[in-house]
Structure 1
Amino acid sequence: MQRNNERFVERLPLVLDRPVYAYVFTALFCVGAMALRFAAKPLLPTGYPFVTFFPAVILASFLFGVRPGMFAAISCGMLSWYFFIPPYRDLVFNPAVAVAMLFYTGVVVIDITLIHFMQRANYNLAVERERSRALADNRELLFRELQHRVSNNLQVAAAMLGLQRRHIDHDAARRALDDASSRLALIGRISRALYDPSGAGNDMRAFLVMLTEDLLAASGREDVHISVSAPDGLMLDPNITMPLALVVAEAVSNAMEHGLPDTSGRIHVQLEQSGEGLSLEISDDGRGVASDFEIEAGPSLGLRIASALASQLGGRFALLPGPQQGAIARLDLPAACV
């Protein structure tokens, strides 16, 4: 409703198909103002000849512009002089009439002038708003095209690594290329889904659900169930969300590969926000890890990448044994990241 009112005001003064219609409506306003003044005459004390005519002038100027407003001002002035300034029905000019008409003229001139400048400013504002909207549309289009090209380039790089893998016989090198290819493809998918040209960020719960579903589909595992819990409406800057998403991807992949390699199980991703910052936990009910497990000393490159990403954000990443079974990958980020 408010937006409709804004659009109506931006179109003022109204440009009718035939300008004569504006003067016809203005004349009707003047006649209506005169009828209202006659009806209110018993209720008003002596004087106040212009009290109902001012709104007619303002309304005509507001709706139809300066010229119909001046027409309304002249018409209403003559009607009020003829019918409501003594001696009635006799256009006698004397000092009292001169003072009254001078007062009336000053008021209507100020009204018409203010309305005119207001409408000019409103028109310029509407033009600038339309220009800004066009620039925003172009910006969004260019941004999406850029993100599309970046994502495509990452996908191409991942495909090239996959092709290169076919020419390598060493198992460790093949696995390294597989890991690099999958990570590049994942970054491409995250980049395409994550960045918003408005810079407003993403709802983290919806984003984590989409990410974990994508990871589960890419793994081909149908015996693993992944659940997500996060505060409703939590929004983070993309510069924070990208490394956080990569940590989630590495932790979930590690849980499926090492915690649940050949058995069914559950993985739960939990994101919490507090005054101290953000805490992210990825827990599973798989084989678990030793109590003295250290990421840097372990064989997993993905966990070391997750630890490095956490350090870049000023946080800490750790892989801990679960309270009963399984493992918990925990990421703690400071309040500055929120």
Structure 2
Amino acid sequence: MNRTRFLERLPLAAERPWLGQAGAIGIITIAFAIRYFAAPALPVGYPYVSFFPAIILTAFLFGWRAGTLAAVLGGVLAWYFFIPPSNAFDLSPQVMFALGFYAFVAGVDIVLVDWLQKTNRRLIAERERNAALVERGEILFRELQHRVSNNLQVVSGLLTLQRREVKDEAARAALDEAARRLGLIGRIQRQLHDPNGDRLSLPDYLRQIAADMIDASGKPGIICTIESDDGVVLSPDAAIPVALIIAEVIANALEHGFADRDIGTIAIHVRREPGHIGLTVVDDGCGLPDGFDLAESRSMGLRLARMLAKQLQASFTLSNETGAAARMRLPSEG
């Protein structure tokens, strides 16, 4: 991480070119000293052996201007001290060729380093623009989710108000159910806030739904427990259908299973099975009526639950145990 930040700062001292020039002089001085003291060990014909790395390093650290200064200083020092005849500025054809070769290689080095640094700066700028776009997208996504949730809550409220003008009991009950479900979808929508489409932790998701349902029921003595295998997740596309099914089961338990009392327990079990997720909701209420048949039930909520389960390619059953027990088995995505 530190190395990445250092590379992003290059070239150094861009706003203070005199520092880059001083750095170029210092690096070339070191390169000259290395070449001077290594001269006895080097064969004839390597006048630039320490200057080329110095030019690349200078251009890399301080930019092309400092690199050019280093190239000029290195060329002059090599010409005078290390190109025969030494200690002279000879202009023979051989010396001119050697200097031309040096200028070409040094120029290519500086151009390549400068091109790489410009490319790096463009990549940094593009990354920053992308990060800004991602942040803006997340803000817009959350705002959209918030507005959708609020609109659903408004529609739910309007239905509740309209119910007061309706005299027919069946119509009033239908409006109540519609308002309750729209309110539930609005609360669910607030939880689906991940703009990346990441899958949701199913136990946490169900825990919040159960808490909302119990709070809305006005029966704080009802306790909901959740037991789950580790790492059970749910795709956002399946979140609302699963939530509506579980909410319908919990609503039935609160309305019918605990109709005559304000205390009780609802236990939700989440199990990972090969290729599937198993969900069980069991209450300790009065249970299902005798002769209950889910397929023949006229309950709008239970018919909706069956329809949603079918859309998810999931199984959905109701039976009696300590109270009513609902079981759902839906395909897992991994």
1:129 corresponds to 2:127: yes
1:294 corresponds to 2:293: yes
Match in the other structure for 2:56: 58
Map 1:165-184 to 2 at 5 A: 165-184=163-182
Q: Which amino acid aligns with 2:180?
A: S
Q: Which amino acid aligns with 1:194?
A: L
Q: Which amino acid aligns with 2:271?
A: E
Match of 1:331 among 309, 325, 328: 328
1:34 corresponds to 2:32: yes
What is the distance in 1 between the residues matched to 2:288 and 2:133?
54
| CA positional deviation for 1:310 | 1.0
Unaligned stretches of 5+ residues in structure 2 = none
CA contact (8 A) 2:281 2:325 kept: yes
Match in the other structure for 2:274: 275
**What number of residue pairs does the alignment pair up?**
333
Give CA deviations for 1:42-93 in whole Å, capped at 9, x if unaligned. Answer: 7767765444433322222123322221211222233344445555444446
| CA positional deviation for 1:157 | 0.8
Q: SS of the residue aligned with 2:329? A: strand
Match in the other structure for 1:266: 265
| CA positional deviation for 1:195 | 3.4
CA-atom RMSD in angstroms = 3.0
Q: Which amino acid aligns with 2:202?
A: M
Q: SS of the residue aligned with 1:296? A: helix
Q: Which amino acid aligns with 2:326?
A: A
Map 1:1-338 to 2 at 5 A: 1=1, 5-14=3-12, 16-38=14-36, 49-85=47-83, 88-92=86-90, 101=99, 104-261=102-259, 262=261, 264-289=263-288, 293-322=292-321, 325-335=322-332, 337-338=333-334
Change (3 A) 1:50 1:257: farther
What is the distance in 2 between the residues matched to 1:334 and 1:315?
7
What is the distance in 2 between the residues matched to 1:231 and 1:56?
61
CA contact (8 A) 2:306 2:316 kept: yes
What is the distance in 1 between the residues matched to 2:96 and 2:122?
39
What is the distance in 2 between the residues matched to 1:66 and 1:47?
27
| CA positional deviation for 1:95 | 7.2
Which deviates further from its counterpart, 287-296 or 222-231?
A: 287-296
CA contact (8 A) 2:28 2:74 kept: yes
Change (3 A) 1:276 1:79: same
Q: Which amino acid aligns with 1:333?
A: L
What is the distance in 1 between the residues matched to 2:270 and 2:37?
70
Q: SS of the residue aligned with 2:14? A: coil
What is the distance in 2 between the residues matched to 1:249 and 1:16?
62
Q: Which amino acid aligns with 1:240?
A: A
What is the distance in 2 between the residues matched to 1:22 and 1:317?
74
Q: SS of the residue aligned with 1:158? A: helix
What is the distance in 2 between the residues matched to 1:230 and 1:277?
14
Q: Which amino acid aligns with 1:22?
A: G
Unaligned stretches of 5+ residues in structure 1 = none
Q: Which amino acid aligns with 2:283?
A: D
Q: Which amino acid aligns with 1:126?
A: I
What is the distance in 1 between the residues matched to 2:55 and 2:268?
67
Change (3 A) 1:154 1:90: same
What is the distance in 2 between the residues matched to 1:138 and 1:280?
37
| CA positional deviation for 1:155 | 0.7
Q: SS of the residue aligned with 2:294? A: coil
What is the distance in 1 between the residues matched to 2:285 and 2:263?
8
Q: SS of the residue aligned with 1:257? A: helix
What is the distance in 1 between the residues matched to 2:221 and 2:129?
54
Q: SS of the residue aligned with 2:297? A: coil
Q: SS of the residue aligned with 2:285? A: coil
| CA positional deviation for 1:223 | 1.7
Change (3 A) 1:64 1:334: same
Q: Which amino acid aligns with 1:326?
A: G
CA contact (8 A) 2:13 2:19 kept: no
Change (3 A) 1:330 1:11: same
| CA positional deviation for 1:277 | 2.2
| CA positional deviation for 1:185 | 0.8
Q: Which amino acid aligns with 2:32?
A: M
Q: SS of the residue aligned with 1:278? A: strand
Q: Return the TM-score normalized by structure 2.
A: 0.85
Change (3 A) 1:172 1:22: same
What is the distance in 2 between the residues matched to 1:14 and 1:108?
20
| CA positional deviation for 1:234 | 4.4
What is the distance in 2 between the residues matched to 1:96 and 1:281?
91
| CA positional deviation for 1:165 | 2.0
